[in-house]
Structure 1
Amino acid sequence: MPVSDFEVVMGLEVHAQLLTRTKIFCGCSTAFGAEPNHHVCPVCLALPGVLPRLNAEVVEFAVRTGLALGCEIQPKSVFARKNYFYPDLPKGYQISQYELPVCLGGGVDIEVDGVPKRIRLTRIHMEEDAGKSVHDALGGSAVDLNRAGVPLLEIVSEPDLRSVDEAVAYLKELRAILMALGVNDGNLEEGSFRCDANVSVRPRGQAALGQRCEIKNMNSFRYLKQAVEYEVARQVELVEAGGKVEQETRLFDPDRGETRAMRSKEDAHDYRYFPEPDLPPLLVDAAFVERVRGTLPELPRARAARYREALQLSAYDAGVLVADAGVAGFFDAALAAYGGGPERAKKVANWVNGEVARLANETGLAPRDWKLAPAALASLLRLLDAGTLGGPGAKQVLEVLFREGGDPEAVVKEKGLAQVSDEGAIEAAVDEVLAASPVEVERYRGGNRKLIGFFVGQVMKRMRGKGNPAVVNALLEKKLGGA
């Protein structure tokens, strides 16, 4: 049978680093990028005699996330020791939660090709991250424990995903929610939002689940897509050949575009879970839950619906804006400064999703690090509306504002980018272009009206992009049509 005759069954385990300043069981910094083994102390190094102390903000963030995702917040949860041996795990066990997690149930609503679907959640629990093993080209290895003890939420879905597209949509929606809640920065490159995929296949129509393999630590939507597609094809080929899929943990090699075996997959009993004796049960009372509920912000799907209904933005524009809470906040502030209804909202969205997004991608800067202020974008758009600036000049001004900040009017004056609307100056440029292009003029008058774009481009080139397009077009049509 071809791959299309098989059904993919998939569940994801997302590890989201929480935006706390300190680690989950000690006061060490969680800041990314420090020198190796700089943010460590006796607790996260697991020196003899030390005791963990739970970071209260981690609990609040876990409850906040659980409420946003419709989970049942457990009044009593218990930390457990997950035992395994690896060089970057100083204690020889990881403090996590197992039988009694802080959140149960819930779900994430997605839409693929216009079809809505709810992906159920099994649980959300708190745990500490391990350190990082660093391997060099000569075969040497070192351990950096800065990340050991960094607080994580593990968000475990039910095996409800049936395609790579559903998996990517689920991850994007979950990432947007966590960022909107302010509990995670969504940074895939730094590994603060990453996932493991449990993948199996079965012939379509079969009720029994196939044997699953776990693909570890993917921190890119593209890598997830590539890894799952490869793994599905590998498992189908095995089944078709009469073989058996072995339960195992696999890694994705992006250079070769394939997964490879890492180790046999452990079951829960292999980790020898038992309650953490150095931490008492966590009790979360109803008053605390309600207080946290009162702080929940507008979530991405609700925000996107507001943009579509109140501002008449397209589903695409709304979706792009709400994918990053920082971008959506910037849009809201810029629109408030610019003022107006749906027409102006569309204009702001076009610039935020267009030129601003391009500059953000080029620089790799998150919205909180942009030098461009929302009010400055609003001022720039007003200069466009007034005819003081043309499109090309506005893009140049925007780039300066994004990289350096400042006032749009001052940048226009300093760079000499003001748009020329004087008919005399534009007419002189038009005459020069027509005189230099006799062949094109004859072709235009012969019926090739598409050449108007050529003439406009030549005039704008002579005027260094400063000519008022409306005046340029009017003069060209007058001279070409009237000759």
Structure 2
Amino acid sequence: MSAMIDDSKYEAVIGLEVHAQLQTVSKLFVADSAAFGGAPNTHISAITLAHPGTLPFMNKKAVEYAIRLGLACHCSIEKENYFARKNYFYPDLPKGYQVSQHTAPICVGGYVTIPSADGPKDVILNRIHLEEDAGKSIHDQDDAYTYVDYNRAGVPLVEIVTDPVIHNADDAYSYLTELRRLVRYLDVCDGNMEEGSMRCDANISIRPKGSNTLGTKVEVKNMNSIRNVKRAIEGEIKRQIELTETGGAIVQETRSYDAATNTSFPLRSKEEANDYRYFPEPDLAPFNFTDEFIDDIRQSLPALPEELVARYTKELGLPEYDARVIVDDKSTAQYFENIIQHTDQYKAAANWLLGPVKSYLNEKNIAADEFPVSAAAIASIIALIQDGKTNFSIASSRLLPALIETPNEEPLALATKLNLLQNTDAGSIETIVDEVLAKFPDKVAEFRAGKKGLMGMFVGEVMKASKGSADPKVTNKLLAEKLAK
């Protein structure tokens, strides 16, 4: 903010509209592929292109996914539904209108709980509704022409609309992070903003603090990451405050965000709902749900992040930090679930997952479901350590890398083959201890004279001489006894 402008007088009011592409095999009203990518105009047919005489038909799986998300967001599910035509012209909209829901959204109300600076907060939802996506206009392949790819046209979307209840960019960031995690847990959307399968528009206004009157809102579009949504909101709040403070007028409009320069620029004046001339879609019959249909979907919902955090902390005794890191990613949580099917050493399982396993995943930039070592094998390693047959240091630095190279090997057999099992025999360890003490008589004298920090050196020498196989507990006990004489 400029030094002359006092931004503390203002409160931002933000509402977010998120379009999430549903992970169905086919499009919303036609059997054409809904897959991302493909050569331009290869996932199309006469129905996608709206040829005369073609008629749409409903994708039941898309409807189920919308209800699945609505239930997870605590929405009311509307049992009587119909689609409407949203009329506007754009080159990538082959029908000349979009089939959407206007007065009859499939999910009403609800909320998403987010972490915030003031503690957990519920972001209130207005609605979640179904609609079809438009195609894609390509402006940079020819100086004279715009190309159009209709592969995306007709792909099923849900639009998740919040009430204007967010007041800063940090909470908007938290909301989008939670929503993306939620759609991934539910397997309804991959949440990939870079590929456009999750897109966010932000409606932003400002008002004097203490006022209940909404200001003139500006919609900001074209943000391809959660971080860029946060930056765009911060920039728009700053722009509106500076404009207001210098006597300018905020115009209701749609602006596009440029991530390279962290600025926005006007696209068009903002349309009102009546500009779209909504009316019920005549080619699609209304569709109604029974309580049984909704309950069946409710019963199929997986355990969601907050539910898992509560179970991991209360039932398994994990620190909340560990639990939240585990559930942050669905595949990581699933891998942890698989480990604890084979062991009751829950803290050790979390330590392995968040330590050596996570380190490898980050290094290779892969998800937990791509990790080559099975969850059962990790549980076996934990058992080896628990039984005193090896220690964490050897297991993590030598046994795990060997298992990654030969994941079909059984951990005990591989540890035996590589001579990684811990020697707990006091007699054989004592022999090594005696050799080490005989090798460093001056250090022994220093230790007995009070230089107790040398114990680590003695332990290290014993471990080196035993090639890491000596049990550290036995080693420490023997060294302490002999050095005390």
Name the TM-score class by shorter chain.
0.7 to 0.9
Distance 2:30 2:402 in 1: 43
Counterpart among 82, 89, 92 of residue 85 in structure 1: 89
Residue number among 42, 45, 52 corresponding to 1:48 in the alignment: 52
How many angstroms does 1:267 deviate by? 2.3
1:193-217 Cα shifts (integer Å, max 9, x gaps): 3322222222222222222222224
**Which residue type is aligned with residue 248 of structure 2?**
G
Cα distance 1:357–1:114, how it changes in 2: closer, same or farther (>3 A)?
A: farther
Describe how 1:303-382 pairs up with structure 2 within 5 A: 303-338=308-343, 340=344, 344-382=345-383
Q: 1:403 to 1:237 in 2, by over 3 A?
A: farther
Equivalent residue for 1:292, pick from 297, 307, 313: 297
TM-fit CA distance, 1:15:
1.5
Deviating more after overlay: 458-467 vs 114-123 = 458-467
Distance 1:280 1:308, change over 3 A: same
Residue in structure 1 matched with residue 411 of structure 2 by the alignment: 408
How far off its partner does 1:125 sit? 0.4
Letter in 1 for 2:68: R
Provide Cα deviations, 1:210-246, integer angstroms capped at 9, x if missing partner. Answer: 2222222434332222222222222222222222222
> Are the counterparts in 2 of residues 426 and 472 from structure 1 also a CA contact under 8 Å?
no
Superimposed CA distance per residue, residues 226-272 of structure 1 (whole angstroms, 9 cap, x where no aligned partner): 22222222222222222222222233333323333333322223333
Give the Cα–Cα distance (whole angstroms) in 2 for the partners of residues 429 and 189 of structure 1: 62
1:200 corresponds to which of 196, 205, 210: 205
Shift of 1:400: 5.8
Which deviates more, 129-138 or 153-162?
Answer: 129-138
Opposite residue 45 of structure 1, the aligned amino acid is: L
Identity rate of aligned residues, in percent? 45
Matched, 1:98 2:102: yes
- The number of aligned residues is 475
The C-alpha deviation readout for 1:392-424, integer Å capped at 9, x for no partner, is: 443354456568743434554566655566637
| 3-state secondary structure, aligned to 1:297 | coil
- Hey, what does 1:171 align to over in structure 2? 176
Q: Which residue of the partner structure matches residue 255 of structure 1?
A: 260
Say if 1:329 and 1:260 are closer, same or farther in 2 by CA, change over 3 A.
same
Amino acid at match of 1:251: S
Counterpart code for 1:182: D
Q: In the alignment, residue 349 of structure 1 is paired with which amino acid?
A: A
Gaps of 5+ in 1: none
Question: Closer, same or farther in 2 for the Cα pair 1:425/1:261, shift >3 Å?
Answer: farther
CA contact (8 A) 2:432 2:465 kept: no
Q: Distance in 1 between matches of 2:47 and 2:405?
A: 41
State the distance in 1 between where 2:180 and 2:190 align: 8
Match of 1:278 among 271, 278, 283: 283
Displacement, 1:433?
10
Deviation at 1:456, TM superposition (A): 6.8
The aligned residue for residue 240 of structure 1 is 245
Is the Cα–Cα contact under 8 Å of residues 141 and 147 in structure 2 kept in the other structure? no
Counterpart residue identity of residue 29, structure 2? F
d(CA) in 1 for partners of 2:342, 2:178: 28
Work out the CA distance in 1 between the residues paired with 2:16 and 2:184. Answer: 18
Structure-1 residue corresponding to 2:188 = 183
Residue identity opposite 1:359 in structure 2: Y
Greater C-alpha Rg: 2
Q: Report the Cα offset of residue 171 of structure 1.
A: 2.1
User: 2:112 aligns to what SS in structure 1?
Assistant: strand
- Could you say what the CA RMSD is over the residues aligned between the two structures, in angstroms? 3.5
Q: TM-score, normalised by structure 1?
A: 0.84
* Structure 2 partner of 1:149: 154
Give the aligned partner of residue 65 of structure 1: 69
